[in-house]
């Protein structure tokens, strides 16, 4: 059984994140969406809200589990017996950072492989930070996020 971890802040989870998750779920026996409880980013949603939204948005994918984490992704992978870390790449500009991260992760745990997946072309421009910015200005983000996330963003910015 091959378990993969897809770590991120998911603030909020976008249709691009969901697309990457579906692609990963088709490749691996189990995919753990690891929602980072990071202090380095100023998140809009709390860790509990982000886990709840991701759990609801991805609830139809049977081999996906959503959990919070506050550790190195490589340590979480070891703890969960995962052999793969999934990372989404939207554009060439993402690759340099992700390539460096994959190399660092390999140094931290050589038993873990990083797999890069790309979202559907119509989702390649979607980022959580752009979604938050558009929503903060009362823009329509329904093309980029699930209706549950649209409602949660409206609540945050009302």
How many Å apart are CA 80 and CA 48, to the nearest integer?
20
Inform me whether the pLDDT recorded for 93 exceeds 80.
Answer: no
Catalytic residue from among 22, 80, 90, 106 = 90
What is the chain's mean pLDDT, rounded? 94
Which residues fall within 8 angstroms of residue 82, CB to CB, at 6 or more apart?
3, 4, 5, 32, 76, 112
N residues, the chain: 158
Percent of the chain scoring above 70 in pLDDT: 99
What is the domain partition of the chain in residue ranges? 3-157
Catalytic residue from among 15, 23, 87, 128 = 128
Catalytic residue from among 17, 30, 87, 132 = 17
Task: Say whether 41 is catalytic.
Answer: yes
Task: Say whether 90 is catalytic.
Answer: yes
Between 38 and 145, residue with greater pLDDT: 145
Inform me whether the pLDDT recorded for 39 exceeds 80.
Answer: no
The CATH number, out of the four listed (1.10.340.30, 3.40.50.620, 3.40.50.1820, 3.30.70.2190), of the domain defined by the range 3-157: 3.40.50.620
Would you list the DSSP string of 5-23? EEEE--TT--HHHHHHHHH
Q: pLDDT band at 38, cuts 50/70/90?
A: confident
Inform me whether the pLDDT recorded for 42 exceeds 90.
Answer: no
Q: pLDDT band at 125, cuts 50/70/90?
A: confident
Give the pTM: 0.93
Task: Say whether 17 is catalytic.
Answer: yes
How many Å apart are CA 58 and CA 45, to the nearest integer?
17
Q: pLDDT band at 123, cuts 50/70/90?
A: confident
């Amino acid at each position: 059984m091959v378990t993969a971890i897809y770590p991120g802040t998911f603030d909020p989870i976008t249709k691009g994140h969901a697309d990457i998750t579906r692609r990963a779920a088709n490749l691996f026996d189990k995919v753990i969406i690891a929602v980072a409880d990071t202090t380095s980013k100023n998140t809009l949603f709390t860790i509990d809200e982000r886990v709840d939204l991701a759990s609801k948005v991805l609830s139809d994918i049977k081999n996906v589990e959503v959990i919070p984490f506050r550790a190195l992704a490589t340590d979480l992978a070891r703890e969960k017996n995962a052999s793969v870390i999934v990372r989404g790449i939207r554009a060439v500009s993402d690759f340099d950072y992700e390539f460096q991260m994959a190399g660092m992760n390999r140094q931290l745990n050589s038993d873990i492989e990083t797999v890069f997946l790309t979202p559907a072309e119509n989702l390649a421009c979607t980022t959580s930070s752009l979604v938050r910015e558009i929503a903060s200005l009362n823009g329509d983000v329904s093309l980029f996020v699930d209706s549950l996330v649209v409602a949660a963003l409206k609540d945050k910015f009302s």
